[in-house]
Amino acid sequence: MTYMISPSLMCMNLIEIKSQLEVLDTRADFLHIDIMDGHYVKNITLSPFFIEQIRPHTNLKIDVHLMVEEPSDFIDAVANAGADYICPHAETINRDAFRIINQIRKHNKKVGVVLNPATPVEYIKHYIHLLDKITVMTVDPGYAGQPFIPEMLNKIQELAALKKEHGYNYLIEIDGSCNTKTFHDLLGAGAEVLIVGTSGLFNLDPNLAVAWDKMTANIRQAEQAA
């Protein structure tokens, strides 16, 4: 079973950002950065400036999740700051999805789209073939630490089946409550990228290297049970 790990930096200890980035840079596959505008969700987190500050200190691909009302207002800034993947919510782009996709492509960046729990795969059917990554929210967006929504396993399975049937190239990524309680079901459903936050990684141990080892042991145990 192949999977990749994308730590959510909004959950890291920002006081220890340099040392924590050094730990992640040799272990993770992506760095996940949430940008919230306080309107699409009632929270404000990281920013294009944050991307610009960490870009020189990591070789990992930076994956930006845009939880914003107007993604087009942010795309140029996050691209220029050093993002590798830019992923707006389908609910915010469907009135101009092809224009948004082209805006991201003009920067030679990978295109992702994020689906809220109540948003069906059908919603993106006309441009699913253009996507490099699809993120399934397994919690409602906006805050860390919410409970897993088990109905999303069917959505992951649907995306995995479509990918196999049509030869699509998108990665299937999971955002929300990826931890020891859910690893087995997520991987079994077809998840390929796991975004890990407080419960999956950062709260496992004050020493991030130790926490990482505990997380990977939890995932290995889930794989063996699959």
pLDDT tens across 69-98, in order?
Answer: 999 999 999 999 999 999 999 999 989 999
Structure tokens at 69: 């009302």
Annotated binding site: 32, 34, 65, 142-145, 175-177, 197-199
pTM of the full structure? 0.93
Phi-psi region of 82 (alpha: psi -120 to 50; beta: other; left: phi over 0): left
Domain 4-225 is of which CATH architecture?
A: Alpha-Beta Barrel (3.20)
Residue 1 in this model has a pLDDT that exceeds 70: no
The CA-to-CA distance between both ends of the chain, in Å, stands at 9
Find the catalytic residue in 34, 37, 63, 132: 34
Q: How many CB atoms lie within 10 A of CB 8?
A: 25
Query: Domain segments of the chain: what residues?
Result: 4-225
Q: 52: pLDDT confidence band, cut at 50, 70 and 90?
A: very high
Annotated binding site for a divalent metal cation: 32, 34, 65, 175
The question of whether 175 is a catalytic residue gets the answer: yes
How far is it, in rounded angstroms, from Cα 71 to Cα 37? 10
Q: State how beta strands 85-88 and 61-67 pair.
A: parallel
Q: What is the mean pLDDT of the chain?
A: 93
Find the catalytic residue in 96, 140, 175, 185: 175
Q: DSSP character for 147?
A: P
* pLDDT of amino acid 144: 62
The question of whether 34 is a catalytic residue gets the answer: yes
How far is it, in rounded angstroms, from Cα 180 to Cα 221? 9
Rounded average pLDDT over 15-34: 95
Q: Do residues 126 and 101 touch, judged by C-beta distance below 8 A?
A: no
